[in-house]
């Protein structure tokens, strides 16, 4: 297989989406649809990628980032005109794969198969076709016998041509020299007044080039998304595809129809995912875990034998044999050790919790470094913000923090120290000490009768 580059068309507005967001940025589960196309191009072996942007180009470029090159189609003059905007990217010896940014269900193995067929047959261009019982709206692939003749768009097709059920998927691979040469002869003499990329195939054929056709085995790969209804259909296909992959690799999904897992997520065998979970981003979950129900985990690492119940985690790390929840919230840069208990209505933010510690309920730990085997009483707060700056708390091993304690950072609690319930701690506590920071109780007998309250 010869090497190839990819051009992805992502300049359209997508008016039928009825949205302020550019069409290719609408998400399938947890990623913009154009990201799927980029990822599968890379998986197929593309050496470089150029994305053609147009409508709200700054937003599209910001979302995609710097892993690709960009071309700008400032005026929407057709697919052929869009590919032309790749400019110098089209020059060279590598083949050019052309894809649409609104086809997120495409698979890398299909694109690799296309590139291999194109190279093996010595084609100047190869197009992917599919057979549809209802081909309305698609360009028709017209053959002379078994050989390619032309592609006719719906609005330019005769009644006889409209009866053809073999349609164009919008996926092609060109020899770069053949494509660049065809652009010199491309016109907009059609019903739309646009420069159709499809016309380059007929130009290449008439110039003596060889045009190949690869018929798709799975038509769902080439479903283009033009509305929120089609977005929902594609999401169902992708969700089932991803969930099937995990179940075949030893993960138990108790209710696959009610479980959403992002494409980049990794999950170990014998982990149980309960209903209502949303697992996304670069999350990695180990083996023998129980996740859910109704948990959301984003770009986090969960090691082995962890239980997460009805909780939210974002950019967090959970080590082996730890339990989280219910109703816990682990915010970015939370690092939790082994055999830790993070209980109900506990929030952890930008903190390290070492092995064996228990933060059982109704507690906030922010900007803190917590040692081993610490016990947090109910209602503890690390007071980390003074209105202008944030400060850290440091809590040593085997500390016992009484309920309703406020630790006003910056403060350090020495190993094996205690705080009395209801204390507001503003000074460091030495090791093995008991800190009491509250007013002595005073009872005023008969106060209600005397005051008439």
- The residues carrying an active-site annotation are 361
CA–chain centroid gap for 123, Å, is: 36
**What is the H or E stretch that residue 113 is in?**
helix 108-121
Structure tokens at 381: 């707060």
Buried b (16+ CB within 10 A) or exposed e, 103-121: bbbbbeebbbbbbebbbee
All residues at 6 or more sequence positions from 206 whose CB lies less than 8 Å from its CB, including other chains: none
Are the beta carbons of 85 and 71 closer than 8 angstroms? yes
Q: What angle do CA 124, 104, 49 make, to 5 degrees?
A: 50
Are the beta carbons of 28 and 261 closer than 8 angstroms? no
Cis peptide before 23, with omega less than 30 degrees from 0?
A: no
Structure tokens at 98: 């052309």
* CB burial of residue 246 (10 Å; 0-12, 13-18, 19+): buried
Q: Give the position of tokens 């992002």.
A: 262
Shortest CA distance to 263 belongs to which of 27, 17, 8, 14? Answer: 27
């Amino acid at each position: 297989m010869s090497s190839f580059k990819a051009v992805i068309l992502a300049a359209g507005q997508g008016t039928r989406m009825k949205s302020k967001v550019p069409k290719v940025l609408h998400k399938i589960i947890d990623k913009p649809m154009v990201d799927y196309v980029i990822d599968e191009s890379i998986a197929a072996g593309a050496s470089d990628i150029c994305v053609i942007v147009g409508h709200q180009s700054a937003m599209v470029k910001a979302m995609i980032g710097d892993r690709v090159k960009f071309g700008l189609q400032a005026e929407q003059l057709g697919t052929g005109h869009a590919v032309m905007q790749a400019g110098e990217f089209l020059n060279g010896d590598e083949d050019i794969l052309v894809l649409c940014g609104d086809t997120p269900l495409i698979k890398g193995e299909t694109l690799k198969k296309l590139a291999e067929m194109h190279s093996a047959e010595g084609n100047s261009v190869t197009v992917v076709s599919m057979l549809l019982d209802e081909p309305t709206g698609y360009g028709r692939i017209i053959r002379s016998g078994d050989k390619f003749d032309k592609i006719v768009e719906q609005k330019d097709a005769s009644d006889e041509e409209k009866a053809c059920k073999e349609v164009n998927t919008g996926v092609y691979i060109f020899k770069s020299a053949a494509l660049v040469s065809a652009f010199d002869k491309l016109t907009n003499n059609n019903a739309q007044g646009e420069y159709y990329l499809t016309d380059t195939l007929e130009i290449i054929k008439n110039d003596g080039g060889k045009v190949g056709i690869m018929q798709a085995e799975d038509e769902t790969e080439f479903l283009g998304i033009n509305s929120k209804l089609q977005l929902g259909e594609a999401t169902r296909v992708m969700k089932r595809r991803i969930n099937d992959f995990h179940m075949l690799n030893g993960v138990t999904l108790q209710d696959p129809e009610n479980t959403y897992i992002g494409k980049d997520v990794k999950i170990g065998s014998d982990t149980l995912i309960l209903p209502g979970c949303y697992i996304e981003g670069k999350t990695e979950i180990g083996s023998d875990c129980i996740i859910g129900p109704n948990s959301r985990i984003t770009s986090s690492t969960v090691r082995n034998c962890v239980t997460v119940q009805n909780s939210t985690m974002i950019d967090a790390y959970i080590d082996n044999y730890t339990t989280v929840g219910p109703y816990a919230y682990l915010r970015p840069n939370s690092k939790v050790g082994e055999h830790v208990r993070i209980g109900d209505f506990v929030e952890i933010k930008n903190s390290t919790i070492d092995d064996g510690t228990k933060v059982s309920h109704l507690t906030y730990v922010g900007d803190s470094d917590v040692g081993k085997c610490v016990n947090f009483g109910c209602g503890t707060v690390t007071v980390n913000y003074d209105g202008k700056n944030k400060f850290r708390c440091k809590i040593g091993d085997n500390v016992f923090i009484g309920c309703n304690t406020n630790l006003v950072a910056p403060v350090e609690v020495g190993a094996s120290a205690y705080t009395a319930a209801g204390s507001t701690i503003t000074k460091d506590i030495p090791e093995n000490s008991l800190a009491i920071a509250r007013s002595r109780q005073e009872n005023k007998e008969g106060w209600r009768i005397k005051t008439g309250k």
